[in-house]
Structure 1
Amino acid sequence: MMTLPALAAEKTSSPPPKTQYILAVSWQPGFCETRPKRKECAGQTADRFDATHFSLHGLWPVKKSYCGVAADIRARDKKGSWLDLPQLAMAQDTAARLLVAMPGTQSGLDRHQWLRSGTCQGGTAQDYFALQLKYLDELNGSAVRTLFAGRIGEEVTESEIKQAFDTSFGAGAGERVRMRCQKAGSRSVITGLTIGLSGDVSAGSGLSQLILAAGETDFKCDRGTVDAAGIQ
């Protein structure tokens, strides 16, 4: 029979959880503040969805990319002219939702993300983007989006964002999140978040279970401005 000290030692020696996927979302007004010439930024207005909600950037398997992608297509993708890449086959309603939830589709971001990351997850482009839309709905229905939407034009801090994640997705969820910021004049504007996930993403699990199974990470940017739509 294993003694209590031995049990304690076994628990102590258990390897820490590892992050298997990264869910990347953008705060589009901040993204566009730093990249005003992008197609998806030219028409951004205060009443557009991405002015007050998180937008999709991608779902990335850790340390895997371009699975089974032909060398010539991969080379075309890396040139950055993503609208020249093959169009993706998906249900009409999914494609329509993606146009709103992922403004970068105007620059071919969906095609790039599928080739680089979606091809490594099994399934179809329809499966890949339907899953991301599900996760985005969860995030935009959470205390995290409420915090950001309520503080447009103001700063939010690392501790506030972590608390919002913990409130919505469970204690410790905020330790699996990293924030991206970029200088815009004298301000540090938030351009997005990356959220660690682990588990079978295709099994229908909710964000809470997947986030809490991931490894912890550094938050990086400890505070930033929740930018408003339009170049400041």
Structure 2
Amino acid sequence: MRRWVLALLFLAGLSPAARADVTDHYALLMVWMPGLCKFEPDRAECKELTLRRYDGLNLAFMALQSARPSNASNTFCYTMLDDESMDRSRKWCDMYQPKIPDTLTLQLKTLMPVMQSCQDRGLWARYASCTMYSAADYYSRAIKLARSVAATQLNSKIAAAVGATAKQSELLEAFKADFGDEKVNAVDFICRKLGNTSHLLQVRISVTARALTRGLNKEMLWKPVNPLRRGCPENFVVDAPPVPIAGAEAPPAKPAPPPGQPPAPDSVPVGPVETAPLEPQGPVVR
């Protein structure tokens, strides 16, 4: 029924939401899940997020956004009347879920952890609907790009800073090492503030339309014409996963202070952390 409705809207030249304008490039939106869980700890995908899980130590996939020459995103193209309101109210599990092969679903369970809260359905309506790809084509291209990001020096540099403060300039140098100085404005970092501290939330990489079929390399990156206003300050926190690794030693109990003296200040012993990005599980889409 849904397909017939969308077909009739298309033939009539009408749309219940925005119509897709000319696509100049795409934005590959990757999320730093520990940062997202810092602000939204009740999400299903945050309950068991540790350093041993793929998205606890790697950038994870969120969306491919179809963008216009002005760099504005196309959103909610040829979708149902209530999709936008349902997405904004986070009623994701009540939204339409496109059908894709089981092989893709298996990989997305690792690479797209927001599926656990059904947010993939909201992101499909908001962004994927504007790419005009079928669900299978959209996700197979997204998986290929997400795997390429996992192999970058930028991903490794972010993983090495987990639980500490990162410098944006050093992350940009890591991006340059893979893609060259002239394409540095193809990447941006999105932060959210808690008090006076900024926390890494997302990484956005602009790619040409050809990148969706040819993969991620310096020739496939899209560079904005206008100067880029970056979404993070020079210094920001790369949060660690919210759940400690099972079996880790608990800190020793503090001895009681002598009578009449204040207690000793708290100290938290920090053990060695594996910072090499983990490899996603499941078959590779080529």
TM-score higher than 0.5 here?
yes
Residue 218 of structure 1: CA displacement? 2.1
Q: 1:224 corresponds to which residue?
A: 236
**Equivalent residues in 2 for 1:74-223 (5 A)?**
74-184=84-194, 187-215=197-225, 217-221=228-232, 222-223=234-235
Letter in 2 for 1:39: A
Larger Rg: 2
SS at match of 1:152: coil
C-alpha deviation, 1:51, in angstroms: 0.8
Q: How far apart are 1:207 and its partner, in Å?
A: 4.0
Structure 1 residue identity aligned to 2:64: L
Amino acid at match of 2:238: V
Counterpart pick for 2:27 among 1, 13, 22: 22
Task: Indicate conservation of the 8 Å contact 1:135/1:207, yes or no.
Answer: no
126-135 or 166-175: which moved more? Answer: 166-175
Question: Normalising to structure 1: TM-score of the pair?
Answer: 0.83
CA distance in 1: counterparts of 2:139 and 2:78, whole angstroms: 19
Unaligned runs of 5+ in 2: 1-22, 68-72, 245-286
CA-CA distance at 1:162 after TM superposition: 1.0
The CA deviation at 1:19 is 6.2
1:10-36 superposed Cα distances (whole Å, 9 cap, x missing partner): xxxxxxxx9622111111111101110
Aligned-pair distance for 1:48? 0.7
- The residue aligned with 1:61 is 66
**2: CA distance, partners of 1:135 / 1:208:** 13
* Inter-partner Cα distance in structure 2 for 1:207 and 1:121: 21
Secondary structure class of the residue paired with 1:68: coil
Q: 2:45 is matched with which residue: 40, 43, 48?
A: 40
Which AA in structure 2 matches 1:43? E
Letter in 1 for 2:192: Q
Aligned to 1:14: none
> Does structure 1 retain, via aligned residues, the 8 Å contact 2:185–2:228?
yes
Deviations 1:27-83 (A, max 9, x none): 111110111011111221221111110011111112312222121444433432011
> What SS does the corresponding residue of 1:123 show, helix, strand or coil?
coil
The amino acid that maps onto 1:218 is: R
Q: 1:188 to 1:73 in 2, by over 3 A?
A: closer
SS of the residue corresponding to residue 178 of structure 1 reads strand
AA aligned opposite 2:161: R
**Paired residue secondary structure (1:71):** coil
C-alpha deviation, 1:182, in angstroms: 2.1
What TM-score comes out, normalization by structure 2 length? 0.69
- What secondary structure, in the 3-state scheme, does the structure 2 residue paired with 1:45 have? coil
Counterpart secondary structure, 1:115? helix
Paired letter, 2:230: F
Matched-pair identity in %: 24
Cα distance in 2, alignment partners of residues 208 and 202 from structure 1: 13
CA distance in 2, matches of 1:118, 1:111: 9
Gaps of 5+ in 1: 1-17
Task: Tell me which of the two structures has the higher relative contact order, counting C-alpha pairs closer than 8 angstroms and 6 or more residues apart.
Answer: 1
- CA distance in 1 between counterparts of 2:99 and 2:32 reads 27
Aligned residues: 215
Residue of structure 2 equivalent to 1:50: 55
RMSD of the alignment, in Å? Answer: 2.2
Superposition misfits of 4+ residues, deviation over 4 angstroms: 212-216
